[in-house]
Amino acid sequence: NTDLHRKVKSLRIANTFILFNVFIMNALAIHLYLTIRHINLSFNYFGNFYRIIVTYIPSVLMTDLSEIPNIIAFIRNAWPVSDSTLRRLVELIVRKDFPRRGIIVGANTQCGRAYFIEDGMTRSYWLVDGEEFTTSFSTEGSIVFSMDEVYYGLPSEEYVEAVDPVKAYSIDIPRLMEMIGTDLGLCNWWRKIHQDEYRRIHRSHKERLTLPARERYIEFSKQFPEVCRRARLGDIASYLGITQATLSRIRAQR
């Protein structure tokens, strides 16, 4: 009887241990799913572990193409990327929401992520001696990241902030660069958006040097009507290299 009692007790302890482990694994799975979909867990301390887990999460838990129409439209407007490439891409992206004026990319840091903007608008700027100098705006579908980090492995020199509430999908920069290096369609898309960005910067530089303030704003409003409608007056003035008072007078005259 004593031996039987001991065996029964041992069996109960073993069953309890198994049930406890099942409970813990289920709790971890639920936590990881909610974190990936809604909180965008940072990969600071347990990065390798979570990357392995994320790789093998069933596709049903991943972002669906129907959830990111603006991102897909932006990508395909630049280059006809295939459905199979897009499906591979969405397996790597994680949703991250930012409030109005929330910082997406911080200066003097390396966040390790690039962000596709599904909804909302962002502004990039330098902070010099306490004064903000706007360098660009990005709207739905665009991708924002630190050039310094992506190409030189250095902390960002710019801030990127949400102009209004932003729904973004982030991707680990090394994984993105790996895809760009192995997928011809995505490589051509990457080349084309950089080509377009170079043209924007070149045109902006030329207009600053050759056009008076009023013509500068007119050209800007033709190129970026959404930005004119949604951005703060001071941010637009900063981008154009004029004062907010001057921009107010120009807009009042139109």
| Confidence (pLDDT) at 212 | 96
Matching residue, tokens 């700027």? 125
Nearest to 236 by CA among 125, 97, 244, 14: 244
What's the angle, vertex CA 169, arms to CA 167 and CA 175, rounded to 5? 165
Collapsed DSSP state (helix, strand, coil) of residue 134: strand
CA 68 to chain centre: 13
Tell me the CA end-to-end span of the chain in Å, nearest whole number: 98
Q: How many residues are there in the chain?
A: 254
| Residues paired with residue 170 on neighbouring β-strands, in sequence order | 94, 115
| Confidence (pLDDT) at 64 | 84
Taking only the tens of pLDDT, the chain with its 254 residues reads 555 555 555 556 555 556 555 555 655 655 555 555 554 444 444 555 444 444 444 333 456 889 999 999 999 999 999 999 999 999 999 999 999 999 999 999 999 999 999 999 999 999 999 999 999 999 999 999 999 999 999 999 999 999 999 999 999 999 999 999 999 999 999 999 999 999 999 999 999 999 999 999 999 999 999 999 999 999 999 999 999 999 999 999 87
Contact status, residue 163 vs residue 98, Cβ threshold 8 Å = no
Matching residue, tokens 């029964």? 8
Nearest to 89 by CA among 187, 223, 229: 187
Contact status, residue 110 vs residue 172, Cβ threshold 8 Å = no
Cβ atoms < 10 Å from Cβ of 9:
10
Nearest to 236 by CA among 140, 120, 136: 136
| Residues paired with residue 119 on neighbouring β-strands, in sequence order | 167
Within 100-172, residue ranges assigned H as helices are 147-152
| pTM as predicted | 0.75
Contact status, residue 121 vs residue 139, Cβ threshold 8 Å = yes
Contact status, residue 108 vs residue 146, Cβ threshold 8 Å = no
Matching residue, tokens 């001991």? 6
| Confidence (pLDDT) at 18 | 60
